[in-house]
Structure 1
Amino acid sequence: MAINLQKGQKVDLTKGNPGLKKIVVGLGWDVNKYDGGNDFDLDAAAFMLNSEGKVTDDKNFIFYNNTSSSEGSVMHTGDNRSGVGEGDDEQIKVDLSLVPGAIAKISFGITIHEAKERRQNFGQVANSYVRVLDEESGAELIRYDLGEDFSVETAIVVGELYRNGAEWKFNAIGSGYQDGLAGLCRDFGLDV
C-alpha cells in the first residue's frame, strides 16, 4: 500500500523496500475548466544535484530534449503534450544502483511550456500528483497529491530523492516558481 505524503514530509524509500533498485516517478495532472482556451503542455524534468544542490553537467538535467543521463541512471520516457487520459502523464525512470556517488539528490519538477505566452499557470491545473513506483512489480510506494495551492506559478518542484547514507529517501517539496523552467534551471545552477 502506498504512503500518502503531505508537503514537507519525508519518507524512507529503500530501507523499507529491501532490494529496490529501479523506480518510476510518475507525474500526472488535469487541466481544469478555466483553461483560458489554449492547449496546455506540461513537462516533467529531473535535476541530478551535487551536495550543494547544483547540476554540474548539462547531461544531468533530464527532460524531453535530453531524455537520459550520460550513465543511464535517470531516463525520461517521453513528452506528453496534452495530458489527456488516465494515469501518469509523464514518467521518469531511475535506476538507483547506477546513480553516481557524486549525486546527492534528484529533484523532480513540472513546468508549463510557453506559460507566459499562453497566459497559463498552475491555478488552471487540477489533480496534480507525483508518485513513486517499484518498476519491477508496478506497486505504488509513495504518492503526493499537490492540491491546488498554486495560483500564479508556472513551475513546481514536486519532490526529490535524496541519499541518506546508503539509503534513498523521498521528500515531498511542493514549491512553486513564477518564472517557469528558466527559474528552476537558474536555481539548480544551469545557464538559460
Structure 2
Amino acid sequence: MELQKGQKCKLTDLTEDGRLRLSVAVSLPAGEADVTCFGVDGAGKLSDDRYFVFYNQTRSPEGAVSMEQSGRTTAFSIDLGRLPDFLQRLVVTIAVEDGTMQALARGTLLLEGGLGQASYAFSGAGYRQEKALILCEVYRKDGIWRLSVVDSGFNGGLSALLAHFGGEEARPDTPAPSPAPAPAPAPAEPRVNLTKISLKKSGESHKIDLKKNRQRIHVNLNWDQRQGLFSRGIDLDLACMYRLKDGRQGVIQALGSSFGASDQPPYIRLDKDDRSGASVNGENMDFFRPELIDFAIVFAFIYEGVPNWRATNARVVLSQQGEPDIEVHIDNPNSNERFCVLASLTGRDGGLEVRREDLFFNSHRAVDAHYHFGFRWVAGRK
C-alpha cells in the first residue's frame, strides 16, 4: 500500500497481533538526521521521559518500542499490545543537526506487519528554514490503533521538538550565589540528555570521567550492507588491541576466536562476528572494567570484499549509561587499506581519554608496529 500525505489507515490491516516494524530511511548530501519516537499522552505531552526513544535511549521500559540504526535507516519495533494505557500516540520525527530539511534529497517510511506493509516517500521539497519535521503518528482512536501520515515541518531542531512535547532537556547547572542557607531542594524532575559527541577530525578527543562513573563502556560498529545477486556483503570486523594497567596485553577479535571475557581479565568481550552486515545491530564490544585500561585501540578491518571504506558508511559509537554517546564515522575516501584504527583509549587522571585516530594500515602487523604493542603474529582464520 502506497500512502499519501495526510492519509490515515487502520493498523489492523497490517498486523493481527499488534506487532509492527516502522522504518525510516533518510538521504542527506551532508550531515546527519536524528529519527526519534515520542510516546505522548492524551494531552499530546511526553508525561514520562522514558517513552522518548532516541539515540541516547533506544528502548522504552517494557520494550514496547525499541530502536535500531543501520546506515541511513532507523527502525522502530513496536508492540502495541504492550504499550501502557496512558500512551495515546507515538509520534515519529526527523531532525537535522546541520542545515535545514530543505536539503533532504529522499526519504522513505515503511511500515511492516504480519498481514502486509505500507510505504510513504517524501523529500525536502517545499521546506525552507525548518530543521525538523513530524513524519507520522501512530494513534489510538475508539480502541483501534491507526496511522496518520503528517509530513509537517517544524522550525526548531530536536531540542525544540522535545520542548514542544513537554519534555525538558538536561543542561549544565549554573548555581546562583546564596547568601543564606536554603531549604533542601525538591527531587529533580527527569531530564533528557540530547548531547552526543562526534569526533570529526583526526586527533579530536573527549575524556570520560571514571571517578564518578565506572559503568561498562559499550562499543558498536555498524555499516551498510551491500550485497549483489551473486556476491556477499562486505565482512567488516570490530577488534581491539589493549594493555591493562597491570601490564597484561592482548587482542580481542573474531579472527582466531579471541572473543575475550566479561568476568575475568581483560574484562573486554566481543559478542559475535557479523560476516555480512545483515544484522541491524552490527558488531558489539564491551569494556566491563574501563578503569583498568592503560591503553587500547579500537579498529575495524575488511576481512572479505574490496577495501573501499567509503562504500561501507561504517561508524562506531562508544556509549556509557548516563553519559553522551561518542561517535566516529569512517569517512576517509582516499584509503584502500583494509585496516582502520578508529579510536584510542588512554587511561589517565582517573579518566579515559577517547581520541579519534583515523589511521589506515594494510595488516595487523602494521597496526601493532605503529602503536608498539610488540605482539608475535601468526596466520589465523575465522
Q: Taking structure 1 as the reference length, what is the TM-score of the superposition?
A: 0.81
2:16 is aligned to 19
Indicate which of 14, 26, 40 corresponds to 1:29. Answer: 26
Percent identical: 25
Which residue of structure 1 aligns with residue 44 of structure 2? 53
Inter-partner Cα distance in structure 1 for 2:9 and 2:47 = 26
- C-alpha displacement of 1:179: 1.3
Alignment-derived partner of residue 86 in structure 1: none
Correspondence for 1:124: 103
Partner of 2:77: 93
Maintained 8 Å contact 1:64/1:79: no
Runs of 4+ in 1 over 4 A off after TM superposition: none
- Aligned partners of 1:156 and 1:176 also within 8 Å: yes
Counterpart of 1:146 in structure 2 is 122
Equivalent-residue separation in structure 1 for 2:155 and 2:55 (angstroms): 21
- Give the AA of the match of 1:94: I
Q: Distance in 1 between matches of 2:24 and 2:100?
A: 17
Question: How far did residue 11 of structure 1 move?
Answer: 1.0
Q: Give structure 1 stretches of 5+ with no counterpart.
A: 84-88
Partner residue of 2:155?
178
Name 2:373's counterpart in structure 1. Answer: none
Q: 5+ residue gaps in structure 2? A: 170-382
- Structure ranking higher on relative contact order (CA contacts 8 Å, 6+ apart): 1
Which residue number in structure 2 is paired with residue 70 of structure 1? 61
Q: Residue 145 of structure 2 aligns with which residue?
A: 168
Contact 1:43 1:79 survives alignment (8 Å): no
Q: Which residue does the alignment assign to 1:10?
A: 8
For 2:14 and 2:154, the matched residues in 1 are separated by 33
Q: In 2 relative to 1, CA 29–17 (structure 1 residues): closer, same or farther, beyond 3 Å?
A: closer
Pick one of 91, 101, 104 that aligns with 1:107. 91
Deviation at 1:191, TM superposition (A): 1.1
Q: Secondary structure at the match of 2:69?
A: coil
Partner SS, residue 62 of structure 2? coil
What is the TM-score normalised by the length of structure 2?
A: 0.42
Q: Give the secondary structure class of the aligned counterpart of 1:5.
A: coil
Q: Is the 8 A contact 2:14 2:112 kept in 1?
A: no
Amino acid at match of 2:68: T
* Contact kept? 2:92, 2:134, Cα under 8 Å: yes
Give CA-to-partner distance per residue, 1:74-120, whole Å, 9 cap, x none.
Answer: 0011374xx3xxxxx1111111111111100000011113x2xxxx1
Deviations 1:112-145 (A, max 9, x none): 13x2xxxx111111111212111x57x4x22222
